[in-house]
Chain A
Amino acid sequence: MASIVVAKELTKKFGEFTAVDHVSFEVHKGECVGFLGPNGAGKTTTVRMVYCFLPPTEGELTVAGYDVKRHSREIKRLVGVAPQEDNLDPDFTVLKNLLVYARYFDLPKDEALRRAMAQLKFFQLEEKRDMHISQLSTGMKRRLILARALINNPQLLLLDEPTTGLDPQARHLVWDEVRTLRRQGVTTILTTHYMEEAAALCDRVLIMGGGRIIEQGAPQELVRKHVGEDVLEVSVDDENTLQLLKTRFPEATFEFSGDRLYVFTQHAHGVFERFLTEYPLKNVTIRNANLEDVFLKLTGRRLKE
């Protein structure tokens, strides 16, 4: 499969601080790849290097075959960016925001208007076209930022935390739209600290921590590989319970987070249930393993701010 982004030993330092530390990855045409990790993991810095906002300190990075160090103009023409923060132009209306942005890409006026109207329709913002940015809800602003990112028909879409701060309803609306774009074959890189989001949208996730890529793969694959099918979650208040679990599941991984103990095994469904019929513990849950558990197991931390 053809790669649209290729990073080799990509590194970004801000003074003494290394934000991105020798990461290598590829993004293929048509893929939706998620960078997953807590704040400060290096996700946003990586994405900003891809759209030539930040110059890399070391390593190689090419986008659509162009080197970011020498061909930023060509790259920026092919890329659509939805940044984390709201940088819509508050001096203009919704429609004018798209038209002014289109001008930066040298789009002719009538073509810009045609595309802007199509985007407003797709993102259900048609009725807001003459409103000012300050009159929009957070969710609408987010969708307008996505619409703006698509105005140049990008080959690669970069979504930096597309749903942070949105209520569940607005979040699902954004997800639906991203999924539609994915079906249309738009290559997408997104960053998120929501496991659920990565699992719902991405073909592949790259888990980042401390500026490095800790693990990568398809969401379900990673879950199966690292944490099996089920997770036993229990509040442990005495040493005996822990000892009991350790004897009973010698090959399992145990992770504490707060006062909750998480037990991951590679066993099939049913082992935890059988165990509980023998030893009825209190405050216990058995649930499907998810990406969050993968993260906890890999880093020993829960993914929370």
Chain B
Amino acid sequence: MNLKKTFSELFSVPRLTYRAWKVWRRDFDVFMKTIRINFLPSLIEPILYLLALGVGLGGFVAPVEGMPYVKFIAPALVAISVMYGAFFENTYASFVRMYFQKTFDAIIATPVSVEEVIAGELLWGATRATINSTTVLAVVACFGLISSPAALLVPLLSFMCGLMFASIAMCFTAIAAEIDFFNYPSFLFITPMFLLSGTFFPLSTLPPAAQVAAQAVLPLTHVVILSRSLTTGVLSSSLLLNTAWVVGVTAVFFVLSINMMRKRLIK
């Protein structure tokens, strides 16, 4: 009985209004204040990776799936920036706003509800992911590593996948007793994904069981597949499955993270 109640509490669809965008706007305003340094990581990092791994290491690597190594990792860098952008925004940064700055408490005293505060944070996390990945996409394009106009859909993909990582991240924030807690998901979830999701070597080189596992539990796998298809223009109907996976996981964690945060904030 109690379990049933908890379940329905955690998965009840929150009532949201346009006010969530006011919270998004707050975070956007802060971002604009320091816009110059905000772009620095997403400009510099992909250049370093492309030079070190693509050009440097790539010199020793045979073409992968019919393309030069540097071209193989370029779309992965785009996907990784989506993950990092949303994950760090809605773990460390959201936690600081919630716990140290009491920003959420201040907003909840206005007509904006707690659900809208969290939804606004998630939308901002997705936006942040989109800003990051679009910057990375531009850098990659400058290196001549984009070969399809379908790459123009990358921002859309980034927002959708950004919302997924944002929602997952917010679940960790809901259970974090202190900020150091985020070391666990960072090293046990994010770093393995960074390395094992078909990013720097093809999934097909993993043992079959590991391939299945990667597709089942590592969200980045799907994002990399989608991103690689859009930048290379090699499209197939199986992409619909990847898209469905992302949409489904996003829907579940979006609802779950909002309810978990409400339970944490409203005693």
Contacts and interface: CB of A to CB of B under 8 A. Distances in A.
Do A and B share a complex? yes
Interface stretch (A2-10, A89-97, A265-273): A89-97
A85 B102 contact: yes
Contacts of B109: 51, 53, 76, 79, 81, 83
Interface string A59-98: 0000000000000110011010101011111111000100
Nearest to B30: A91
Interface string A96-131: 100011011110000000000000000000000000
A85 B103 CA distance: 11
Interface string B15-58: 00001001001100110010000000000000000000000000
A89 B111 contact: no
Given A100-B29, A106-B111, A87 B103 contact: yes
Interface in A8-23: 14
A85 B30 CA distance: 22
Nearest to B26: A100
Contact of B111 (A86, A90, A104): A104
Contact of A73 (B25, B113, B266): B113
Nearest to A76: B111
A94 to B, nearest CB: 14
B101 interface: yes
Contacts of A217: none
Interface residues of B, number: 21
B113 A72 contact: yes
A87 B266 contact: no
A79 B108 CA distance: 12
Contacts of B267: 14, 54
A87 B112 CA distance: 16
B107 interface: yes
A210 interface: no
Nearest to B17: A73
Given A54-B267, A85-B102, A89-B101, A105 B110 contact: yes
A51 B112 CA distance: 12
B105 interface: yes
B170 to A, nearest CB: 19
A5 to B, nearest CB: 16
A89 B106 contact: yes
Nearest to B106: A87
A104 B112 contact: yes
B33 A55 contact: no
Interface string B97-141: 000011101111111110000000000000000000000000000
Interface string B240-267: 0000000000000000000000000011
Contacts of B26: 89, 100, 103
Interface string A211-237: 000000000000000000000000000
Contacts of A72: 113
Contacts of B29: 92, 96, 100
Given A87-B103, A89-B103, A103 B25 contact: yes
Given A54-B266, A87-B106, A77 B111 contact: yes
B131 to A, nearest CB: 17
Contacts of A85: 102, 105
A56 B113 CA distance: 17
Q: Which of A77, A85, A87 has the most CB of B within 10 A?
A: A87
A92 B25 CA distance: 13
Q: Which of B107, B109, B113, B266 has the most CB of A within 10 A?
A: B109
Nearest to A12: B267
B130 to A, nearest CB: 21
Contacts of A88: 106
Contacts of A55: 266
Contacts of B112: 104
A92 B106 CA distance: 14
B22 A103 contact: yes
A103 B33 CA distance: 18
Contacts of A104: 19, 22, 107, 110-112
Contact of A105 (B101, B106, B111): B111
A81 B105 CA distance: 11
A96 B28 CA distance: 13
Contacts of B105: 53, 83, 85, 87
23 contacts: A51-B109, A53-B108, A76-B110, A77-B111, A79-B109, A83-B106, A83-B109, A85-B102, A85-B105, A86-B102, A87-B105, A87-B106, A89-B26, A89-B103, A89-B106, A91-B30, A91-B33, A91-B101, A100-B29, A101-B110, A103-B22, A103-B26, A105-B110
Closest 5 CB pairs of A and B: A87-B102, A104-B110, A87-B106, A81-B109, A91-B30
Given A91-B30, A92-B29, A103-B22, 15 more contacts: A14-B267, A72-B113, A77-B111, A81-B109, A83-B105, A83-B109, A86-B102, A87-B106, A90-B101, A92-B30, A101-B106, A103-B25, A103-B26, A104-B112, A106-B111
